[in-house]
Amino acid sequence: MHHAIIIGKGPAGIQAAIYVARARLSAAVVGLDGGSLREAARIDNYYGLAGPVSGAELQRAGEAQARALGAAFVDGQVVGAGFADGGFYALTPGERLEARTLLIATGAKRAKPPVNGIGAYEGKGVSYCAVCDGFFFRGKKTGVLGYTDYAVQEAIELSAATADVTIYTNGAEPEFSGSLKKEAGAFACVREPIAELFGDGRLEGARLRDGSEVRLDGLFVAYGVAGSADIAKKLGVALTPEGDIATDRGQATNVPGVFAAGDCTGVFRQIAVAAGQGAVAAKGMIAYAREK
């Protein structure tokens, strides 16, 4: 078991990893890439830069610094998170990580998938967390909207409540990998795009682009990769009315041992702010891990 799991390889996550590693505690940083930082072509408003650098260059330098201090890195999509004995776990398609404390630093919340009517049925058949809401769909006809490993993991979670689970990729080519590629074979997979959802007050079904209709009691959204709100909901972490992760001044959430930093907290979206929050979160994580 590590002292800290850090989900996200952007400035908030890397900065936190540097502080945790310097405190001689074990940190595991998990994520696919540096998020929006890697998309920045030119950065010249961050302290200490002799000249403009790309976001990718800055991310690589930060990761190399954290590695040199002893932080471990896992390149993979986080498809699940929850509670373990003595702490928390995070799942990737090929690995389960456990730690005493956990930081969510996954960047800004994701856009909703392009499906007409999805917002009208949120909480009325449309859910974003199989762990949280699967219980309410016991024995019912359900679907998971997504095309990546995250969708397969949600389908697996949902299958504990109902055997009737179908994955809808919404026209995307499935991107299942590792052991989850094999497990995806246990579920029906529909690639025809969803034109719209329908129902009288509650979700009753989906109308596909080819004109066919399918009955659905519940649709669980797992589109793309798991975002900050998705991970937060699995852990019972409170969100703000805007959908960002709510924290106190020490970047702690309402769940003891879980912290959040960076764009996912709804702050001024700048590298300097994310890195600062990562440092503050690390201070709390170090204290929490040592107490445990």
Residues 12 and 143 reside in one and the same domain: no
Cβ atoms within 10 Å, residue 61: 12
Domain that holds residue 151: 119-221
Contact call for residues 28 and 277 (beta carbons, < 8 A) = no
Provide the pLDDT for residue 107: 85
Residues 7 and 87 reside in one and the same domain: yes
pLDDT mean for each 10 residues of the chain (292 residues): 95 97 97 76 86 90 96 92 93 92 87 81 89 90 94 94 96 90 94 95 95 96 86 92 94 98 92 96 97 83
What total number of domains does the chain contain? 2
Provide the pLDDT for residue 111: 62
Residues 192 and 233 reside in one and the same domain: no
Residues 274 and 205 reside in one and the same domain: no
pTM above 0.95, yes or no: no
Residues 102 and 234 reside in one and the same domain: yes
Where among 198, 221, 244 does a domain terminate?
Answer: 221
Where among 186, 221, 256 does a domain terminate?
Answer: 221
Query: Residue 198 sits in a domain of what CATH number?
Result: 3.50.50.60
Could you give the maximum distance between any two Cα atoms of the chain, in Å? Answer: 61
Residues 101 and 231 reside in one and the same domain: yes
Residues 287 and 152 reside in one and the same domain: no
Residues 22 and 76 reside in one and the same domain: yes
Residues 136 and 194 reside in one and the same domain: yes
Where among 166, 190, 221 does a domain terminate?
Answer: 221
* Cβ neighbours of residue 157 closer than 8 Å, sequence gap 6 or more: 80, 130, 131, 134
